[in-house]
Structure 1
Amino acid sequence: MACSHLHNQPINDECFVCGFDNPAGLEAQFVERDDAPGRVVGLFTPKPIHQSYPGRLHGGVAAAMCDETIGRAFITDHPDQWGVTMELKLRYRKPTPIGESLEVVGVITKVTRRTFEGTCELRRQDGTVCVTAEATYMILPVERIVGECSDEGSYVWEDDGRPVPAGE
């Protein structure tokens, strides 16, 4: 039986979800398995700056994490293409704490020539599902997305050098 290899997806330093140079960012880590295309696990620990009610993660921050995770699940099998979110539906099932390590598991459920769809679950370490989401994205090459938004015309990926957690 072949052993699968886990590795981190790259990050962008200014990204709200994964960047380390964004002072309000989540600094999320995204882990994929070589033998599981279309699936990614996002890991993050929300800080007090990310709260709404005391001790609870803001719903918009949870939405951003779900959106990013599903999009990153697509790039596990399509590294030169990204998705632009067309629709994102969330269900808030349980309060989501801050200051606790959380995981979001994103899975691609459908790919067509122009779009892809996926789902995710945001979970506490004890397995409690706090948020579920479904989304639809338009497939576009990364250079087109960045070129329409910036004069720079490129997007800089950096290696995420954090250790890959065991058991993902």
Structure 2
Amino acid sequence: MSGAGAAMQRAIAGRGGAPMSTEQVAALADLTARVRELNEMVVYTDVDLAEVAAVRDEVAALTARLAAVRREHPPVAENAAEGPARQLAGPVSGLLNPVAPPVDIRVLPDGTARAEFSVNVLYEGPPSFVHGGVSAMILDQLLGVAAAANGTPGMTAKLDLRYRRPTPYGVPLVAEGRATGSDGRKTFADARIIGPDGRTTVEATAMFVMPSR
């Protein structure tokens, strides 16, 4: 395991608590998906104020039920055979984070990190388009996965973005990136978001630095 990977595992182990089972993750991921739908509908709903108040009270009651047994730290998934424990509460691809888009990132055989996704109105910046900070967050995550796939993971030390054109929301998008080189503890990577018309909307370059032992 790399120095960065070992450091991550030590940080997770230091929090204590058993990783979630596959069954727990699946059940809570279903709940998270329903909460995402609720989040979006809060923006769009036009029901009367009495109904809003009734739903508010129901949500408060449901929150209290979930709070009856609470973990001390955010959960991680069981260790996969091929890698370290996975964080589940991340803001980009966290399966149990209802404010994450979420973006499911896959690593292709050639080392490219790729995601096909769509975001909704909750991530809007200019009318009809994705907020630039959300695009940056997604690309930072993708670049980090690309660096790790190269066998040289690290923490973001530099992230440069070029916004070529607005990124629309509510349509299929693709993000892809890959490591372009490494130098000691530094890893360099490039990534981009591609709109439904095949044109690049945002480009990014990054440098990651592997923590010292």
| Larger helix fraction of residues | 2
Structure number with higher relative contact order (C-alpha < 8 Å, ≥ 6 residues apart): 1
* Paired residues of 2:136 and 2:161 also in contact (CA < 8 A): yes
Alignment of 1:108-127 (within 5 A): 108-127=179-198
Q: Which amino acid aligns with 2:142?
A: T
Q: Which amino acid aligns with 1:93?
A: R
Aligned residue for 1:23, secondary structure, equals: coil
Query: Cα 1:46–1:86, aligned 2, differ >3 Å: closer, same or farther?
Result: same
* Paired residues of 1:56 and 1:98 also in contact (CA < 8 A): yes
Task: Say how many residue pairs are matched.
Answer: 129
Which 5+ residue runs of structure 2 have no aligned equivalent?
A: 1-84
* Paired residues of 2:107 and 2:114 also in contact (CA < 8 A): yes
Partner of 2:107: 32
Instruction: Output the TM-score relative to the length of structure 2.
Output: 0.56
Aligned residue for 2:87, secondary structure, equals: coil
Instruction: Compute the RMSD of aligned alpha carbons.
Output: 1.8
Partners of 1:101 and 1:62 lie apart in 2 by 14
Aligned residue for 1:100, secondary structure, equals: coil
Aligned residue for 1:21, secondary structure, equals: coil
Percent identity of equivalent pairs: 27
Query: Cα 1:64–1:72, aligned 2, differ >3 Å: closer, same or farther?
Result: same
Query: Cα 1:109–1:140, aligned 2, differ >3 Å: closer, same or farther?
Result: same
Partners of 1:117 and 1:98 lie apart in 2 by 28
Deviation at 1:72, TM superposition (A): 0.4
Deviation at 1:89, TM superposition (A): 0.6
Partners of 1:43 and 1:83 lie apart in 2 by 24
Partner of 2:35: none
Query: Cα 1:17–1:62, aligned 2, differ >3 Å: closer, same or farther?
Result: same
- Which one has the largest radius of gyration? 2
Deviation at 1:11, TM superposition (A): 5.4
